[in-house]
Chain A
Amino acid sequence: MSAAAARPAASGSIAMSRWLRRIRWYLPAVLVFVGTIALWELVVQNIDLRGLPLPAPSEIAGALSDSWGAGRWPIGKAAAATLFEALGGLAIGTFAGVVVAGLTARFVTARELLLPLAIGASAVPIIAFAPLMNNWFGVLNPLSKMMIVAVLVFFPVVVNVTRGLTSVEPAALELMRSYAASDWSILWQVRVPNALPYFFTALKVGSTLALIGAIVGEYFGGSSDVLGRVIVQSASALRFDVTWAAIVVGAVSGIVSYLAIAAVERIVIPWHASQRAGEP
């Protein structure tokens, strides 16, 4: 009975020490971040940065709360629209990338044809195609931005997932062959699980690319209630506090999507080495 009573207490203290470890892990980064903001505020308030239009963090925060839902640049609404484009494009690009990777992994001819192209294309500054996409899919249509994002995301997904599907231990394939396993079983039991860590790496890279693609796509024109237009228009109106507020919201959206993917990754592939080491 005493043992049973002790167990919850013990697991409680384990949970506590885990939290302590986590705090210790994140504390330095949080301190550096808060310190930088404080220093920024101090410098802008006390030193005359003549000619350098840098709003203080407090002014940016003010602009953010003032124009979040109202005014000429409703940042909240704009962020939602941009995030919609980014995530839509991420979904389209990832889906297409996984399909093509599946084909290249399955068919050697497709691999020999497509993989060098994909690797080459991932070195091309694809964002340069943004004006064309605006032209093809309609500058006011969110789909035009989604397609820019999709093309941007597509290549890292193809390259990574193909590598994940094909870089299987030869002995694992021999083992499956000795069981007289079908190609389908080999795909689902060996290749797909093996590719999952590569897939999540691609998705994390893709989530960052998605916001870049959406915002830069918006620079080339489109509906005015999107982050890219808010940034361009507020900057040309010299309302740099609003510009900065929009940039902060864009940055936070990027970080949040990255963390969301990392959280899903933790749930889906807890067995992978990347999930077992490092951060406690």
Chain B
Amino acid sequence: MRQSAGRASPTTPDTVVRIAGVDKTFARDGVVVTTALSGIDLSISRGEFVSLIGPSGCGKSTLLRVIGDLVAPSAGSVEVNGKPAAQARRDRDYGMVFQAPVLFDWRSVEDNVKLPLELMGYDGPRRTARAKEMLDLVELGEFLKHHPYQLSGGMQQRVAIARALSFEPAILLMDEPFGALDEMTRERMNQEVLRIWEATGTTIVFVTHSIPEAVFLSSRVVVMSARPGRITDVIDIDLDRPRGVATREEPRYFQLVTAVREALRRGGMGDELAERMEDGSGASIDRTAAEGGIG
């Protein structure tokens, strides 16, 4: 079930993303202020649904942006479809969905979905056809002429997904896309995303801080810990597909939720220990141990 962390799987023709030895530090005046990512190795195969999960500050959003060439790594390499990430971005291999829908109020729903198609030089009839097809896919075919402010938050996020998929990117990068939605809408959106993923076969990298969401959606959950941001565990999610309401009630589902939660706790605990060791304040470890804080 669990793979050893920090080892990139071998490259196969099916590898879409290959991350090797990626560090990301933020420096001010030449002094490193934050180590957002440290020693990241990860390979993602075609058609996989991979979630990045971890506490805030663990660099999961930064890792997503490094994959999408929105942030340059300080060290290491990122290849997408066998090309450097920057080239993949220029080739329009990425569809991005953020926590906010980032729809443009001055464009109708349809025209929002058409925006990337316009930039990528699709002709008029093809733009119209693709926009309709994508909005039908997210079940918003009735709302072509509406404006974003006339839609609910969940509907807006579905438009953002339609827009991200409109130009058939090789990989869909989603940064906590349902973090701002209420629990019920979020579960419905999870179902929706799975349906779209199964219908399109797109590779998805999905950042979340919700354990149930990560387990329900993913084929693999990548567990990260903070300071420095690193991968502490990779958990295969072997739940049967198609997944639905019943999946959330299976014993196996609860086992996996628990496994991810424990992996997160181990990552967090290791982190605290590491920090104390770095401080050289062994005494504080002893004290904590005496108080029964550890173990």
Contacts and interface: CB of A to CB of B under 8 A. Distances in A.
B partners with A: yes
A26 interface: no
Given A174-B96, A177-B70, A180-B89, A169 B115 contact: no
A179 B104 CA distance: 15
Contacts of B99: 171
A185 interface: yes
Contacts of A271: 105-106, 147, 149
Nearest to A176: B119
Nearest to B98: A171
B70 A179 contact: no
A196 B96 CA distance: 26
Interface of A: 169, 171-172, 174-175, 177-181, 185, 189-190, 193, 196, 269, 271-273, 276
B96 A178 contact: yes
Contacts of A179: 92, 115-116, 119-120
B102 interface: yes
A178 B102 CA distance: 13
A272 B96 CA distance: 25
Interface string B100-134: 10101110000000011001100000000000000
Contacts of A276: 149
A135 to B, nearest CB: 45
A269 B90 contact: no
Nearest to A193: B106
A268 to B, nearest CB: 10
B68 interface: yes
B120 A169 contact: no
A180 B90 contact: yes
A169 B116 contact: no
Contacts of B119: 179-181, 185, 189
A175 B102 contact: yes
A187 to B, nearest CB: 13
Given A177-B70, A181-B119, A271-B149, A172 B102 contact: yes
A276 B99 CA distance: 25
Is the contact region of chain A dominated by helix, strand, or loop, or is it mixed? Answer: helix
25 contacts: A169-B100, A169-B102, A171-B98, A171-B100, A172-B104, A174-B65, A174-B70, A175-B96, A175-B98, A175-B102, A177-B70, A177-B89, A178-B68, A178-B89, A178-B94, A179-B92, A179-B115, A179-B120, A180-B90, A189-B104, A190-B104, A196-B106, A269-B106, A271-B105, A272-B105
A213 B1 CA distance: 77
Taking each of A171, A180, A185, A269, which has the highest tally of chain B beta carbons within 10 Å of its own beta carbon? A180
A239 B147 CA distance: 56
Interface in B120-177: 120, 147, 149, 173
A178 B89 CA distance: 6
A221 to B, nearest CB: 46
A149 B9 CA distance: 69
B89 A174 contact: no
Given A169-B100, A272-B105, 18 more contacts: A171-B102, A174-B70, A177-B70, A178-B94, A178-B95, A179-B115, A179-B116, A179-B120, A180-B91, A180-B92, A180-B119, A189-B104, A269-B106, A271-B105, A271-B149, A273-B105, A273-B149, A276-B149
A185 B95 CA distance: 18
A177 B90 CA distance: 9
A276 B105 CA distance: 12
B178 to A, nearest CB: 15
Interface in B65-101: 65, 68, 70, 89-92, 94-96, 98-100
A190 B118 CA distance: 14
Nearest to A180: B90
Contacts of A185: 119
Contacts of A180: 89-92, 119
Contacts of A196: 106
B105 to A, nearest CB: 5
A185 B121 CA distance: 12
B121 to A, nearest CB: 11
Contacts of B98: 171, 174-175
A54 B13 CA distance: 91
Nearest to B108: A271
A172 B149 CA distance: 16
Contacts of B115: 179, 189
B76 to A, nearest CB: 21
Contacts of B68: 178
Contacts of A193: 104, 106
Contacts of B95: 178
A75 B65 CA distance: 65
A172 B117 CA distance: 16
A185 B149 CA distance: 23
A226 B105 CA distance: 44
A184 to B, nearest CB: 11
Contacts of B120: 179
Contacts of B90: 180
A181 B149 CA distance: 25
B9 to A, nearest CB: 26
A171 B104 CA distance: 12
A181 B92 CA distance: 10
